[in-house]
Every structure is written in C-alpha cells, then in structure tokens.
C-alpha cells in the first residue's frame, strides 16, 4: 500500500485522511473526533479500571487516539504505557495540517506534536504519566514476542476488513489473546459477525454496543479468565 493521503473535513469539523488507492478513510466521515472518542475512549479507556494501563493500538496513523487518551488521563493518577504499531508513518507535511489540537491550549498542542516527533521503536516519556512506544512494522507479520508486558486495552483501528482482510484474521486475534492481560478490553468500530466470531474463538467475551453517529453498532471484547 502506498500512502498518499488527502486531508478531508468530517461532519464534526475534525479532519480525517482519505486514501484514494484503497477508497478508504482513516475515520468516520460523520465525525473523526466524535467516532474515536465514542469507540476508544468512552467504550474502551473509561471501562479499564486499572491504575497502570498498557494500551496497544493497531494503526497509529494521525495519532488521534493517542492524543485523546493522553488528554483523558492527564489529570488522573493512572500511568499509561501506550504502544502503537504503524506500517506507514505519515509525513510531517500532512501531520502539521491536521486540526486535532487547533482549539487546545499551547501546552496540549505541544503534546500533540510530541506524540508525532517521538522516536520510533523506543519508549518515550511524553508526560510523567504517559509513555509512548511507536513501532514501525507491518502488523500482519508482527512478532508478538516483542510485547513484554501484557496488554490491558487494545484499540483495534485497522482499515475495514473488506479493504484490508489480512489485518483481521483468526491468527491475529488468537495472538492478541495470548498477550492480553486478565480483564483486557479490545474495542473496534467494526461490528461484523465474522470479526466477532474471530474474537470469541480464543476466548474473548464479546458484546455489540451502539456505534458512533452514522454507525449502528461497534464491538467490545473482554478477556475474562
Ligand atoms: C483506520 S486508520 C486509523 C489510524 C489511526 N488510529 C488514526 O486514528 O489516525 C488505519 C491505520 O493502519 C495503518 N496500517 C495499514 N496497514 C498496516 C499494517 N500492515 N501494519 C500496521 N499498520 C497498518 C494505516 O497506515 C493507518 O494509519
């Protein structure tokens, strides 16, 4: 996949990217920030009650989910260890045009840029309670042994299964389950039955939840041991 994204405005005024070769957007055109907040923060992060949370994101992309997570936990006593995998890091020329931090105070704007300027493949302290490790790698052949701490929360934010079926395989969900901690929560905007069954196969309990505006449902899976 060659990535030549086009910046577009979504219905809530926040940007998304469109990949013409895939005919696919990074987020819902009904509202990028609205969707990410609904799926990953409200249905995921807010249900993870641990004080120390290891998050694993599939597809770092614009850094929107990392930024929303950082903002939601800044004034909490929780420690966040955020690992994100990305095969196609965005060019600075694209990142610098995205409007996610435009209405934020200067300190938050700086944090958004810090997420992007952080070195790849190293754990970087972004704030005293938020540590980021961006891994530049192809998720479809990722060596899960590189995950040394069990994951408490998974943001599964790959392109849709019909666009990138190799990101949504039984093997991948089985591997994610083996690196999931007890009570690990996995959230995704996708609500397909075939994806739900792939999550259930290794042992996740799954539920369909109301989706963000414009999408009827989404999925949340939990590892109950
Ligand atoms: C739906 S977008 C979401 C990105 C990000 N979470 C965001 O909010 O901007 C999917 C992301 O997966 C990345 N991706 C595509 N194929 C990949 C692969 N084989 N391995 C890792 N990342 C991949 C894309 O480059 C893109 O950043």
Residue 1 lies in a domain: no
Residue 113 lies in a domain: yes
| Model pLDDT for residues 83-98, shown as the tens digit of each residue | 999 999 999 999 999 9
CA of 5 to the centre of ligand 1 (A): 12
Exposure string for 96-132, b = 16+ CB within 10 A, e = fewer: eebebbeeeeeeeeebbebbbebeeeeebebeebbbb
Given a cut of 70, whether residue 57 has pLDDT beyond it is yes
The reply to whether ligand 1 has any atom less than 6 angstroms from the CB of 98 is no
Q: Which atom of ligand 1 is nearest to the CA of 142?
A: 20
pLDDT greater at residue 64 or residue 3: 64
The reply to whether ligand 1 has any atom less than 6 angstroms from the CB of 33 is no
Instruction: Output the six-digit token pair for 16.
Output: 């998304």
Confidence of residue 64 (pLDDT cuts 50, 70, 90): very high
Q: State how many domains the chain has.
A: 1
pTM of the model: 0.98
Residue span of the structural domain in which 217 resides: 31-223
Spatial CA neighbour of 157 closest among 86, 213, 95, 92: 86
What number of other Cβ atoms are within 10 A of residue 170's Cβ?
13
Tokens 């992060």 label which residue? 45
Residue 62 lies in a domain: yes
pLDDT at residue 225 in the model: 80
pLDDT at residue 4 in the model: 79
The reply to whether ligand 1 has any atom less than 6 angstroms from the CB of 26 is yes
pLDDT at residue 166 in the model: 98
Taking residues 60-84, what's their average pLDDT? 97
pLDDT at residue 2 in the model: 54
Looking up residue 126, the CATH number of its domain turns out to be 3.40.50.150
Taking residues 44-72, what's their average pLDDT? 98
Residue 13 lies in a domain: no
Spatial CA neighbour of 185 closest among 175, 199, 172: 199
Given a cut of 90, whether residue 50 has pLDDT beyond it is yes
Residue 185 lies in a domain: yes
CA of 138 to the centre of ligand 1 (A): 10
The reply to whether ligand 1 has any atom less than 6 angstroms from the CB of 21 is no
Tokens 């590189």 label which residue? 146
The reply to whether ligand 1 has any atom less than 6 angstroms from the CB of 140 is yes
The reply to whether ligand 1 has any atom less than 6 angstroms from the CB of 136 is no
Confidence of residue 51 (pLDDT cuts 50, 70, 90): very high
Given a cut of 70, whether residue 1 has pLDDT beyond it is no
The DSSP output letter for 120 is B
Taking residues 7-16, what's their average pLDDT? 98
| Average pLDDT for the chain | 96
What number of other Cβ atoms are within 10 A of residue 79's Cβ?
15
| Model pLDDT for residues 21-32, shown as the tens digit of each residue | 999 999 999 999
CA of 77 to the centre of ligand 1 (A): 30
Residue 18 lies in a domain: no
The rounded distance, in Å, linking the Cα atoms of 8 and 38 is 20
Instruction: Output the six-digit token pair for 25.
Output: 């957007």
CA of 159 to the centre of ligand 1 (A): 6
Taking residues 181-203, what's their average pLDDT? 98
Residue 6 lies in a domain: no
Taking residues 168-187, what's their average pLDDT? 98
């Amino acid at each position: 996949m060659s990535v030549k994204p086009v910046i577009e405005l979504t219905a809530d005024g926040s940007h998304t990217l469109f990949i013409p070769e895939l005919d696919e957007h990074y987020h819902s055109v009904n509202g990028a920030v609205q969707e990410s907040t609904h799926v990953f923060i409200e249905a995921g992060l807010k249900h993870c009650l641990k004080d120390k949370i290891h998050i694993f994101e599939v597809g770092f992309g614009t850094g929107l989910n990392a930024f929303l997570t950082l903002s939601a936990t800044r004034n909490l006593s929780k420690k966040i260890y955020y690992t994100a995998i990305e095969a196609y890091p965005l060019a600075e020329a694209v990142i610098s045009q995205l409007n996610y931090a435009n209405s934020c105070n200067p300190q938050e704007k700086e944090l958004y840029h810090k997420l992007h300027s952080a070195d790849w493949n190293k754990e970087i302290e972004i704030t005293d309670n938020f540590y980021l490790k961006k891994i530049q790698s192809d998720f479809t052949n990722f060596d899960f042994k590189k995950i040394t701490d069990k994951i408490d929360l998974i943001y599964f934010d790959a392109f849709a299964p019909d666009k990138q079926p190799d990101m949504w395989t039984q093997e991948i969900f089985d591997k994610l389950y083996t690196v999931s901690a007890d009570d690990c929560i996995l959230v995704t905007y996708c609500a397909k039955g075939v994806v739900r069954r792939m999550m259930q196969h290794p042992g996740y309990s799954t539920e369909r939840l109301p989706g963000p505006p414009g999408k009827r449902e989404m999925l949340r899976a939990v590892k109950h041991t």
